[in-house]
Amino acid sequence: MKALIAWALALSVAACALPASTTTSGSVRPTLQVKGAPEGATLFVDGVAVGAAADFDGSSKVLALEEGAHRIEVRQGATVIVKRSVFGSGGERISIDAGASQ
């Protein structure tokens, strides 16, 4: 009898397991690179600070973006060095030069 109860309990627990699934969009996300960012500058995407702008130079790493329109800013303290509106799609690499005069 105990074996029957243990078997029924094991069967009911196994029946509650969630199925494993994966969802992919099929397209590669666009990326952003910032060239020539001065030391201490911060990268903002849609008003949110994402890190040191110099970190996303394209050689060490890039920032993956969601497809669509974005506001990009590179700030050093309270000074806005670069301000751009961009649209990224289809895995393209968007490049912004923070070293050029604006």
pTM of full prediction above 0.85: no
Write down the domain spans for the chain.
27-97
pLDDT band (50, 70, 90) for residue 39: very high
pLDDT band (50, 70, 90) for residue 2: confident
The tens digit of pLDDT for each residue in 65-101 reads 999 999 999 999 999 999 999 999 999 999 999 986 4
Question: Residue 23 and residue 34: Cα distance in Å, rounded?
Answer: 30
Q: Please tell me whether residue 95 adopts helix, strand or coil conformation.
A: strand
Question: Residue 80 and residue 84: Cα distance in Å, rounded?
Answer: 11
- The class level of CATH for 27-97 reads mainly beta
